[in-house]
A = this chain, B = another copy of it.
Amino acid sequence: MKTYHLFQFGKGNIGGALIKQVVHRVDAMQTQYGFHFEYVGVCGQSQAVYDQAGLNEALEKQTDINRMLTNYPGYIAYPGPMAMLDIVLRNNPPNLFVIDTTGAEMTDVHLSCLRQGIPVITANKKPIADDYSAYDEIQRLGRGSTFRYWYETTAGAGLPVISSIKELVDTGDTVLEIAGCLSGTLGYICSQLDTGCAFSDIVVEAQALGFTEPDPREDLNGMDVARKALILAREIGYILNMSDLHVDGMVSDTLLEAPSVDAFMALLSQEDEVYARRMAAAREQGQVLRYMATVKNGACQVGLQSVPLDSPTGSLTGPDNIVVCTTARYKDNPLVIRGPGAGPEVTAGGLFGDLIKAVRVID
C-alpha cells in the first residue's frame, strides 16, 4: 500500500477541521482506494512538529491540536514558512503533499514546492492572487500535464466553483460572465439591510457574533472578495493584477483609514444615512443591495449593486455564497452554484476533496 505523507501549514479552525477529517477517514481510504495518508508534520504560528514516523495516532488521540503540539516530544519553535519547508525537505519524506490552511504570505513556499514537483493543496488565496508573474509560474508548474496545484477552496470554500469553471474552459466553452456574491460576511450584512436595520447596528452585531474579522474593515474593504474575483477572472484567462480591479468597499475610505478598530466602529453610523437612501431607492424598484463580484469583458468589478429581488443573487439570504456563470453553452440558463462559502467544516471538506484528487492524478 502506497503511503502519502502530509505536511500542513496552519492548525486553526480550517486546519484543525481538516486534520480531524483526514485522520478519521484513513481506514476508509485504505479499504476503498488502497492508499494511506500519514501526517508527518503540522505547524502553527508558534510551534511545529515534524516526525517522519507519522503523527496520525497522536493527532487522533489528542483532539486539541495545540496541546498535542506542545506535548509532542521534540516539538520546535516555528521557524517561519521557508525555514520550516527546508526542515521538511531535508528529511525527504517520499510522496509528500504540502497543505496550506494559513492566510500568510506563502507564494515562495508554494513555488518552492512546485519547482521540486511537490503537490500543494491550498485554502490560502494569497499566492494565487499574488502578482501575475507568480500566478503564471504557479500555473505552468502546477497545472501542466500533471496537476500539482489544487486551490478549489480559495473561492467559495467547498463549493465546486473553480473546478466547474476550469472544466468549461478546458472543454472549449467561452465564459461570458461570472457574477456572484463571494463573502458570507457581506452577504449577511446585505441580508440584514433588507430587513430595514441600520447599517452601523448590523456591523456592530455581526462583529459581536464573530461573523466578521476582529477588525471588520478586513471584510468591509472588499479585498477578500476582490482576491476571489481575481482568482476566478484569471481562471478564464484574464491577465489581471489586483491593481487592475475596480474595488468599492462597503464603507468610505475615510472610515477605512480610521486609526483603530474602536475609532472605526465609532464612525460607522456616518454611513447609516447613505445606506438608508440606497436601500429606499432599491426597494422602490423591487430591488435589493448585494455585494457583487462581476467578471466580464476582460475586466473585474467588486462592489455594492442593486439587483432584482427575484434574481438568483437578489434571492440570496444570510451567509450563502452564489456564483452565476454565463457561457456560450450556458447562455439562456446560466450555471448556478449556491451554498455556504465559508466555515471550517465545508472548507476542510473542500481541501480534503482536493487532496484525494491530487493523489489520484499522481498515483
Contacts and interface: CB of A to CB of B under 8 A. Distances in A.
A73 interface: no
A82 interface: no
B333 A340 contact: yes
Number of copies: 2
Bin chain A's interface residue count: 35 or more
A171 B339 contact: no
A43 interface: no
Q: Which of A318, A329, A337 has the largest number of chain B CB atoms within 10 A?
A: A329
A208 interface: no
A149 B25 CA distance: 23
Interface in A107-161: 144-147, 158-160
Contacts of A361: 360-361, 363
Interface stretch (A215-223, A227-235, A348-356): A348-356
Interface string A326-363: 00011011111111100101100100110010001101
A339 B349 contact: no
Contact of A346 (B330, B349, B353, B360): B330
A163 interface: yes
B349 A329 contact: yes
A202 interface: no
Interface of A is mostly: mixed
A21 interface: yes
A24 B170 CA distance: 11
Q: Which of A25, A28, A338, A363 has the largest number of chain B CB atoms within 10 A?
A: A338
A35 interface: yes
A206 B280 CA distance: 42
Nearest to A1: B145
A315 interface: yes
A144 B334 contact: no
A330 B337 contact: no
A343 B318 CA distance: 33
B338 A336 contact: yes
Contacts of A172: 21, 24-25, 28, 349, 352
A33 interface: yes
Nearest to A35: B145
Q: Which 6 interchain pairs have the tightest Cβ spacing?
A: A171-B352, A167-B353, A34-B145, A335-B339, A336-B338, A329-B345
Given A146-B363, A170-B353, A329-B345, 10 more contacts: A25-B171, A32-B144, A145-B363, A158-B329, A160-B337, A312-B338, A330-B346, A333-B339, A336-B339, A361-B361
